[in-house]
């Protein structure tokens, strides 16, 4: 599938690089939905367990990071402050795979506009619908280099009393030679 996509992108774009492309998405995951990636599917099941108990998006206090060490390298924690998002925490896997440094920064300070619009829409949708969402996308791709893709799962958490709402994004990166 990725090799076919790489060929399509090569034919579709005559320039030196291709923009990101959505391969698969679900903007409102339901209980029982899966992504075919165990680390993301385990997180979906965990989140929906809290959702069943609470009757709505869980409070951030439900997530105890050290109870889920397999998730920690893959997480990005976003906090909504007003109408902006700040990336509070970035796991090691995300740090090593992203071309920009996000930790402790507002997204609108460091992301290119086309990426900012997409990420902000996904985070806002997760919070407003109180439903997780999922996307699988290619990253910007240079012809002649490996095709890099990622899967991102956004899990919304309600704001604690007097605090800010959060979205826990769990990322999975892959690279395919083309």
The CATH number given to whatever domain includes residue 47 is 3.30.450.20
Q: Which domain holds residue 128?
A: 2-176
Question: Per-residue pLDDT for 44 more than 60?
Answer: yes
* Residue 169 confidence class, pLDDT cut points 50, 70, 90: very high
Q: What are 89's strand-pairing partners? A: 77
Q: How far apart are CA 85 and CA 88, in angstroms?
A: 9
Is the distance from CB of 158 to CB of 56 less than 8 angstroms?
A: yes
pLDDT digits (tens, 9 = 90+) for 51-105: 999 899 999 999 998 899 999 999 999 999 999 999 999 999 988 888 788 889 9
* Structural domain total, the chain: 1
Angle (CA) 165 104 80, round 5°: 20
- Sorted by sequence, the CB contacts under 8 Å of residue 38 that are 6+ apart come out as none
């Amino acid at each position: 599938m990725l090799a076919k996509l790489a060929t399509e992108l090569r034919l579709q774009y005559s320039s030196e690089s291709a923009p990101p492309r959505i391969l698969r998405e679900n903007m409102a995951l339901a209980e029982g939905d899966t992504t075919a990636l165990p680390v993301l599917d385990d997180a979906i099941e965990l989140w929906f367990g809290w959702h069943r108990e609470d009757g709505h998006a869980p409070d951030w206090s439900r997530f105890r990071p050290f109870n889920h060490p397999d998730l920690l390298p893959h997480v990005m924690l976003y906090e909504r402050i007003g109408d902006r998002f700040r990336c509070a925490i970035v796991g090691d896997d995300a740090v090593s795979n992203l071309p920009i440094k996000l930790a402790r920064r507002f997204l609108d300070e460091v992301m290119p506009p086309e990426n900012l619009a997409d990420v902000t829409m996904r985070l806002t949708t997760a919070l407003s619908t109180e439903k997780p969402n999922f996307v699988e996308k290619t990253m910007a791709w240079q012809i002649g280099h490996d095709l890099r893709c990622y899967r991102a799962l956004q899990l919304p958490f309600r704001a604690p009393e007097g605090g800010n709402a959060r979205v826990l994004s769990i990322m999975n990166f892959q690279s395919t030679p083309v």
